[in-house]
């Protein structure tokens, strides 16, 4: 499952507060770990509301990487997919986010393969 707006080879997408800066998806380390990842800007979703991103991720088998708690709440209410990687870092640097994702690579892959888990919180 890929990451949206943000990360994972399964596609992975990175979302919300990261919408304006597609730096993660351009980062070589990140792209090597999650080659199918994308950013909402590259998917023409940067002006979409959260529901638009949610629906895109669900329909296209992306995991959403976000700092926005709304996506976790939706996952609780509506279930998954899409899966959510919730970055609970507060305001932090892009380098810190990349390190967090790189350091948790195995945990992210395990989460992606766990059919009973819909949200992974990273601190």
- In order, the DSSP letters of 38-104 are EETTTTT-TTS-HHHHHHHHHHHTPEEEES-HHHHHHHHHH--SSPEEEE---S--HHHHHHHHHHT
Report helix, strand or coil for 35.
Answer: coil
Q: Is the pLDDT of residue 4 over 60?
A: no
pTM, two decimal places? 0.80
**pLDDT at residue 63 in the model:** 87
Who has greater pLDDT, 20 or 98? 98
Flag whether pLDDT at 42 surpasses 90: no
Question: What pLDDT is stored for residue 67 in this prediction?
Answer: 85
**pLDDT over 50 (residue 9):** no
Contact predicate 65/5, CB 8 Å? yes
């Amino acid at each position: 499952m890929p990451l949206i707006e943000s990360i994972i080879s399964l596609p992975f997408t990175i979302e919300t507060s990261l919408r304006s800066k597609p730096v993660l998806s351009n980062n070589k380390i990140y792209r090597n770990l999650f080659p199918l990842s994308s950013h909402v800007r590259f998917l023409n979703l940067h002006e979409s509301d959260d529901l638009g991103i949610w629906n895109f991720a669900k329909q296209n088998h992306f995991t959403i990487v976000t700092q926005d708690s709304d996506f976790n709440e939706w996952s609780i209410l509506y279930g998954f997919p899409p899966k959510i990687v919730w970055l609970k870092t507060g305001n932090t640097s892009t380098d810190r986010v990349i390190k967090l994702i790189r350091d948790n690579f195995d945990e992210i892959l395990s989460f992606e393969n766990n059919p009973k888990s819909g949200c992974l919180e990273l601190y």
